[in-house]
Amino acid sequence: MEIPYVVNPRKDTGLFNSKIAIWLFLASEVMLFGGLFSGYVFLRIGADYPWPERTLPVLPGLINTFILIASSVTVVFAWAALKMRKWRQFQIFMGITVACALIFMVFKGVEYGVKFKHQALRMNDFTMVEGHIGYVKAKGGDDHADDHADDHGEEHGDDHAADYARDVHGEKIEANQHVFAAESVAFNLARYHKPWAEDLIAEAAREGVEVKLAETLDFNAGEGGEEPVFEAGTVLSMDLLDDLADAYADNLTRNATWRKRYLRKAWDIKWEDVEENNLLGEASFAADFPKALELESDERKKAYTRWKAGMRARMAQDVTIDEVKLSSGSKPVTIDDESYASRELPAPGSAKFTCSKPLVLRQKSHDVITDYKADNSTISLRDGTSLAGAYKPSPMDFHDVDGIDFQHLAMDAEKRNLDPEITIENSWLVKNNPVVADLWTMHKDAIAQLEQNLIDHYGYRKGKDGKPLEDAAGNPVAKRVPTEKDRYRMGWQEIAYYMDLLDKHEGEGVPKIDLPKDANAAPKVTMTPKEHFMGPDYGTRSFPHLTIPRSEVLLDAKFTPKWNSYYAIYFTITGLHGLHVIGGAIVLAYYLFFGRSMYLSNPEWLANRVEVGGLFWHFVDLVWIFAFPIFYLM
Amino acid sequence: MSATATHDELHHDHHDPGFVRKYIFSTDHKMIGLQYGITAGLFLLFGFFLMIAMRWSIAFPHEPLPGWIAMFFPDGWEARWLQDGKLTGDAYNMFGAMHGTIMVFLGVVPLGFGAFGNYVTPLQIGAPDMAFPRLNMMSYWIYLAGGLVMCASFFMESGAAKSGWTNYSPLAGIADGQIVNQWLAGQTQWLIGLVLLITSSLLGSVNFITTIINLRARGLTWMRMPFFVWAMLVTGFLLLLAFPPLEAAGIMQLMDRVAGSSFFMPSGLYTSAEGLMEISGGGSPLLFQHLFWFLGHPEVYVLLLPAIACVAEIIPANTRKPLWGYKAMVYGVLVLGFLSFIVWAHHMYMTGMGPVVSTFFQTTTVLISIPSVILLTSLIISLWQGSIRFTPAMIWACAFLPMFGIGGLTGLPLAFNLVGLHLHDTYYVIGHFHYVVAPGILFGLFAGVYHWYPKITGRFMSRFLSHLHFWPSLICMNLIFFPMLTQGMAGFHRRWYNGGDSYLATDPESANVFGRTVAEHIDLNIVMSYAAWAMALAQVPFLINLVWSKLAGRKVESDNPWNATTLEWATPTPPGHGNFTTEPVVYRGPYEYSRPDHDEDFLPQWTEPKKPAEKPEESPAAH
């Protein structure tokens, strides 16, 4: 059997099979990315927070765009070379195409990597702080500039190993964590999370804390026999937890099986009673509902239906596992002359352990279910584990703050008819941190100058009649004003600029800003070429340090999908696009490296395949051409 | 390709593949079709079983499940999910969500499109196989993987998905939040399964459309294609274009669950379990509904078209007259396919989209009834003045017409957003779409099984058992679904796990009109439940018939036992790998029955005309 039109096109349709298929497939891809792009539009239009604009580094994205466009051209050349049966030329062009794909993915990987290491925080008043956390030693602030070189590369060795907080596995802790000194721990035996229990045991061993079962758990109601008994004082281990969980599950199952049997028996008894005494008959209806006799026959029928239905619900109250209420009194439910109570085995759902001294545990904020209050004496974790003890101070320590953003706070203030600037000055961060207060003073100064520069350069708006426009308060309206982002966000370039001035004028109070009289002047440091790709160079730039107490923390995230819907849709679309790039590159590389034998036996078939692969590759390019402006430029 | 080469190839392919290549990892469209059919059948039984358990909880919410239902649950599972042997609300939600999911995504679509489409389409267009046989195989295995991933989650700590088959966020976004490793939560597994299923059906639809466009036999022009093939073509396009937006939604919801994003999570979401959720918020729950129903509505036609397609083949073959209005039906189905993309928001009248949007979708929804009515009317008129043979397939096809008619007509009121205020999420809606899917679509597919069984196995199905299957099924179906319409108008909500029992605690004389109305109609629950259980019994003859007839059924004497006209009957019985022994050539339209100029009452597409207009290379195989 041979499938026709694999290589040569069918005459009346003019197409070979895979060409139809790839166009159909691309149609479905259009719908897939169409769904995602319309998701972008929907999310952006409906955003109830300031949508991050122009937040990604444009240069690498732009380079990537040209790389992809170039690869789309070379893939056509590769196909043309095959059509002309020039294998060598095909190899060269296809090689360039695959290489372009690799370069694209490297740029993408760098861009992603920077995001995954970058911490963001939303405070209770919607102030946003961006930077890096988890670096302990630099908290004091004196020597941080020297140590920064190590911050971003493991390659520098472990010289400063002690500078980081580390967990039991020796991993650097770069997450927002609750620190809790636990005096006792109660595990939920149905669903405790094994890795956490293992960490807890390791932490206890490291700290020399003994964790022991608080009270004897007898799963056999003191009767001895097969079922296990766990003595108080048994030391916590994974085996012990396993055994406890098994014992719990066994007893639960046994009890449930018996409960079901007793309940069935109880209902059997009840139904016998119902039938014997005709409890659902008209006579009972009339007895229970004397007014029935006065009703019209139609109404009476309805009332009877309702009464009967209601009786079933009421009967459920008469039936329990131990006892059934009957018309003649009540009757205990027994099976083989035994009651359920005599068969029931204890099945405690949790096992409590006490610690010989408070055991300090760290848990990611996301995994702590209880709302934070400094005087909480118990907290519960996502897996149902409950810890009793006391909170330790667990602030978020930022050692390189490279972004302070009041846009959301300002938006919120405007919504409530408050002056955004006053609200910012009253925010926790500005009030409690002198460095941030200085930065804000300088920023306000800079923006005022920027506003003036714009007016000097562009002037005021005029109405149709040529007269200057006035706003409600009678002030002239400038043609161009600083954007919300200019006003309320200090990015890393601004912060580095202000910090530089602060360092130069140390001890002289808040330095004055002196922007050049130019509409394009901005209070920013100039990026080095490396910084275009990797973000700020923490080794040479100076950034402030902040300690944000736990009580001010509302939401934290790396620059990942969790941070906001912009990053969510950015990672989803570019991630899926990246998978398409990888998939396409693998297929094209397969033709390049393993296509030789097909080229020799059936070159037209290989050309068809490259054509189909090339069509896919063009589509991948097209998606990027849509993705680039909406994520990088808008 | 010479005739000898074909024969050699066939010979080669018949004997070479071992058991695994022939029955398991087969690339033959017929074997894949059977695999789809059997797998989908098992999923249908499983989904039906879930409903049997749910119906107990609805009818007798206070009594433990009886032994004949409970015996299917492992003890440990029962202890975890049942309360004293009764379904808990959680377990009911789980069963409900999975019943819908299984029936739609794992049962009916794979049966209609995967099984019938795969088996019959290449035969009817005279192709040796699908255009991409290995893709076809992959499509089946991805489908199976998706189905197993979804169902395996019943045995995880979280249990299976429990937020309805529509999986609306934020409910679906927060469900199973207590599970630390989100990849092992049922709600996440549902999404993974869904993405796999969508991938499978995308591969399938690309394959189908390519096959139909490019592998048609010589002489099989577009308007000579059987209606079945047209329906499959449109179904393919619906799957191709409607599923990807749901895949986008699935990926986004997956991100919400495992990456903590807030695509569908509004700002300030507060839950009893976690308090203020630690999420960024700012997402749009409405976006999920739009993306879901953009698939969800075309999906209805993905379910329906294969069933109509089967019926459209069976009716001409058994009335011995041409399909009435073939052209109108073809254009009707194309228009139907197009319109089905712009009616989706009629599922969302209650979301507050605004009157303009609602009015638009109300209009398109009413419009789509026109092509539906064209299809159904043509089928009904096809019966007129026919000399009907009531074969097993034909009785099912005949029952399909009124049953689907009820399903369609009960849908009309739901098209209006005013009526939606009252009927939204009630049993009326459940009754409406079950009339479409269960006695409608499933009857059509049953008809298909009885019709093509002789071609697949070479034996007829037992006539007695098929009647034993048909009549109880017909009665039970109506006893199950008609009372739902009544209950729905009385206000019964579709997700009550105890069938509205909580409204019975009210005094019969109380002024609570809603409670009293519910009480008056609550006895119907018991009728419907008994009917559902009887329905299960009624399927036993069918299962016996399937197996028994294969082993001991009456053998077919010709390759064309129904004296039908379309190409699948030109193949050997059962067709071998490569299907046709000689290259088929088509000379005429698909439904040439009772032609006055012809002695027999049927003239197959492949029969050479007496005075040939064009001379084929070799004589076509006519038996």
ipTM: 0.93
Q: From CA B453, how far away is CA B469, in angstroms rounded?
A: 16
Tell me the CA distances in angstroms from B392 to B108, B451, B469, one per residue in order.
21, 8, 10
pLDDT at B18: 86
DSSP strand pairing (A229-230 vs A217-218) = antiparallel
- Single-letter residue type at A82: L
Query: Smallest Cβ distance to A36: which of B78, B248, B280?
Result: B248
Query: What distance in Å separates residue B297's CA from the closest CA in chain A?
Result: 16
CATH of domain A17-118+565-633: 1.20.120.80
* Contact indicator for B56, B87 with CB cutoff of 8 Å: yes
CA atoms within 13 A on the CB side of A13: 21
- The mean pLDDT of A60-80, rounded to a whole number, is 97
Task: Tell me how many degrees the CA angle B228-B232-B233 measures, rounded to the nearest 5.
Answer: 115
Lowest mean pLDDT among A214-228, A421-435, A596-610, B247-261: A214-228
What residues of B are in contact with residue A193 (Cβ under 8 Å)?
180-181
Model confidence band, residue A293 (pLDDT cutoffs 50, 70, 90): confident
Indicate the burial class of A48 (C-beta count within 10 angstroms; 0-12, 13-18, 19 or more). Answer: middle
pLDDT at A156: 39
Cβ-defined contact of A369 to B214 (cutoff 8 Å): no
Residue of chain B whose Cα is closest to the Cα of A258: B84
For A155-203, write each residue's pLDDT tens digit.
333 344 456 667 778 777 778 889 999 999 999 999 999 999 999 999 9
Average pLDDT, chain B: 93
pLDDT at A176: 86
Question: So where are chain B's domains?
Answer: 559-623
At a CB cut-off of 8 Å and minimum separation 6, what does B12 contact? none
For B413-423, write each residue's pLDDT tens digit.
999 999 988 99
The answer, for A7 touching chain B at a CB cutoff of 8 Å, is: no
Model confidence band, residue A519 (pLDDT cutoffs 50, 70, 90): confident
What residues of A are in contact with residue B577 (Cβ under 8 Å)?
1
Model confidence band, residue A223 (pLDDT cutoffs 50, 70, 90): low
Calculate what percentage of chain A has a pLDDT beyond 90: 73
Query: Smallest Cβ distance to A1: which of B129, B178, B243?
Result: B129
The first and second tokens of residue A125, run together, are 């008043």
For B201-260, write each residue's pLDDT tens digit.
999 999 999 999 999 999 999 999 999 999 999 999 999 999 999 999 999 999 999 999
What residues of B are in contact with residue A47 (Cβ under 8 Å)?
282
The first and second tokens of residue B538, run together, are 């009624």
Q: From CA A296, how far away is CA B520, in angstroms rounded?
A: 16
Model confidence band, residue B506 (pLDDT cutoffs 50, 70, 90): low
The first and second tokens of residue B220, run together, are 């099989």
Query: Smallest Cβ distance to B9: which of A1, A312, A371?
Result: A1
Phi, psi of A131 (to 5 degrees): 165, -145
pLDDT at A531: 93
Q: Answer yes or no: is pLDDT of B10 > 80.
A: no
Cβ-defined contact of A321 to B84 (cutoff 8 Å): yes
Q: From CA A35, how far away is CA A58, in angstroms rounded?
A: 25
Q: In a mutagenesis test of the B interface, which of A312, A569, A573, A576 is the best target, namely the one with the most B β-carbons within 10 Å? A: A312
For A315-349, write each residue's pLDDT tens digit.
999 999 999 999 999 999 999 999 999 999 999 99
The first and second tokens of residue B133, run together, are 């046989």
pLDDT at B465: 97
* Contact indicator for A122, A128 with CB cutoff of 8 Å: yes
Average pLDDT, chain A: 90
Q: From CA A388, how far away is CA A406, in angstroms rounded?
A: 37
What residues of B are in contact with residue A25 (Cβ under 8 Å)?
202, 206
Cβ-defined contact of B64 to A321 (cutoff 8 Å): no
The answer, for A48 touching chain B at a CB cutoff of 8 Å, is: yes
For B362-393, write each residue's pLDDT tens digit.
999 999 999 999 999 999 999 999 999 999 99
Model confidence band, residue A227 (pLDDT cutoffs 50, 70, 90): low
Cβ-defined contact of B294 to A35 (cutoff 8 Å): yes
Task: Tell me how many degrees the CA angle B133-B134-B139 measures, rounded to the nearest 5.
Answer: 100
Q: Which residue has the tokens 């949007």?
A: B357
Q: Answer yes or no: is pLDDT of A144 > 80.
A: no
Residue of chain A whose Cα is closest to the Cα of B251: A572
pLDDT at B482: 97
Q: Hey, which of A114-118, A183-187, A510-514 has the most confident mean pLDDT?
A: A183-187
Cβ-defined contact of B247 to A569 (cutoff 8 Å): no
- Give A 192-231 residues with CB within 8 A of chain B: 193, 196
For A102-113, write each residue's pLDDT tens digit.
999 999 999 999
Q: Answer yes or no: is pLDDT of A77 > 60.
A: yes
Q: Which residue has the tokens 């006579």?
A: A283
Cβ-defined contact of A557 to B249 (cutoff 8 Å): no
Cβ-defined contact of A196 to B501 (cutoff 8 Å): no
Reduced to 3 states (helix: H, G, I; strand: E, B; else coil), residue A4 is coil
What residues of A are in contact with residue B85 (Cβ under 8 Å)?
256, 259-260, 263-264
Lowest mean pLDDT among A155-169, A461-475, B260-274, B432-446: A155-169
Cβ-defined contact of B504 to A5 (cutoff 8 Å): no
Beta-sheet strand order (sheet of A350-364): A211-213, A350-364, A177-188, A386-391, A378-380
